[in-house]
Amino acid sequence: MRTPAHARTAAVIAIASLAGACAQAPTAPEGEPAPTPAPRVVRADGPRDEAIRRHRELAREARAAGDLATAVDHLHVVTMLAPGDEAARRDAETLRGEIQRGVRDNLEAGRTAMRSGDNARASAAFMRVLALEPRNAEAARSLREIDRQNMTRAQANRAARVRVEDLFADARAAKAAPPAGYAAAPASAAGGNDAYDLDQRIEMFRAGDTTTALRELKAWVDTHPKDRAGRQRVGSAVAERAKELEGKGQREAALSLYEQALSLRGEPQPEWSARVAALRKSVAADYYNQGVKAMRTDLNGAVRSLETAVKLDPQNANAANRLREAKAARDKLSRIPAK
């Protein structure tokens, strides 16, 4: 049975609870209406929409620059943020298909260049593969092999250069006549020391140090512009190397050497001129085919290749037409507004 004391205790507890509740809830001053809560503002273009817009723009810029792998990455982010965006999903699938074709074409171009000994072109092809597919094992392995070959060749060239330059230094320091038993070329108008000097430069060139030796040969020709027999020897040595490279399938390098052989000789040589004309068309055709393939995946690269093709063979109407198409497509893509 509840006693009066119990009743009084319960009343005190109830009053204390009510007082605490009133203390927690703020009340408006007497005579003023209670304040209403501020409305919550929801932005129409929130952080997610801004991120989607930004990644669309980055994808467009990457695609215009020919960086298809990066463009796919940005479109993947868009599809993650907006799973119902079918346009972004289709664009990503289209780019993945272009990447696969580009990887396949450039791998084949790299293999062909390596088989012909053209490491520069092979390296460029494999680098394009890695730009499209950074984890491609074959391209990475082939580039390592090209680096190894280039290092071996560079070491051999340095050894040959040191050996021949030592001969130059000894001959110039002593200012001596050619060694006993040395016979200068009978048709040369140069004196014995000059003929010996020329022979050393030609030996350097044949030893494989093309860049340094060509510089030395050009310097000799500049010093002896009227030595017809000497210039013929220089031109013939360079043309022989050009023929050797052409036989290995290195047509672009061979073209450059044939052109330099004519310049160093200083007079017409129909056979070399014919090789220059044929090689210009052949190399231009290579760049044309490379440019046509690149139009599917790399418009900037396509423009560069087609420009080279037209420069080498101005009469190639197909190359000129494709160059205009590639430039127009590149310009059109760069003007597409971000979605």
For the chain, the domains span 48-144, 189-335
Percent pLDDT > 90 in the chain is 27
Lowest mean pLDDT among 84-88, 286-290, 311-315, 333-337: 333-337
| Cα–Cα distance measured from residue 71 to residue 58, given in angstroms and rounded to the nearest whole number | 7
| pLDDT at position 61 | 85
What is the DSSP track for 122-168?
HHHHHHHHHHH-TT-HHHHHHHHHHHHHHHHHHHHHHHHHHHHHHHH
| Cα–Cα distance measured from residue 255 to residue 245, given in angstroms and rounded to the nearest whole number | 9
- Say whether 217 sits in a helix, a strand or coil: helix
Angle in degrees, CA 270, 246, 114, rounded to 5: 165
Cα–Cα distances (Å) from 171 to 3, 10, 110, in that order, read 133, 123, 45
159 or 102, higher pLDDT: 102
What is the DSSP track for 175-190?
TPPPPTT----TT--S
Cα–Cα distances (Å) from 205 to 179, 198, 216, 269, in that order, read 21, 11, 9, 21
- What single-letter DSSP state applies at residue 45? S
Percent pLDDT > 70 in the chain is 73
Q: Assess whether pLDDT exceeds 50 at residue 186.
A: no
| pLDDT at position 159 | 65
For the full predicted model, state whether its pTM sits above 0.85: no
Q: Give the tens place of pLDDT for each residue, 194-245.
A: 677 788 888 878 876 677 888 889 999 999 999 999 999 999 999 999 998 8
CA 148 to chain centre: 20
Question: 48-144 is classed in which CATH architecture?
Answer: Alpha Horseshoe (1.25)
Q: Assess whether pLDDT exceeds 60 at residue 308.
A: yes
Give the residue among 156, 130, 160 at the shortest CA–CA distance from 143: 130
Cα–Cα distances (Å) from 23 to 14, 15, 20, 28, 219, in that order, read 14, 12, 5, 12, 101
Cα–Cα distances (Å) from 91 to 78, 98, 265, in that order, read 11, 11, 57
| Average pLDDT rounded to a whole number, residues 246-271 | 91
Segment holding 264, helix H or strand E: helix 251-265
Q: Assess whether pLDDT exceeds 50 at residue 156.
A: yes
144 or 33, higher pLDDT: 144
Give the residue among 311, 10, 304, 332 at the shortest CA–CA distance from 128: 304
The answer to whether 195 and 229 are in contact (CB under 8 A) is no
Angle in degrees, CA 234, 238, 244, rounded to 5: 150
Segment holding 194, helix H or strand E: helix 192-206
| pLDDT at position 27 | 53
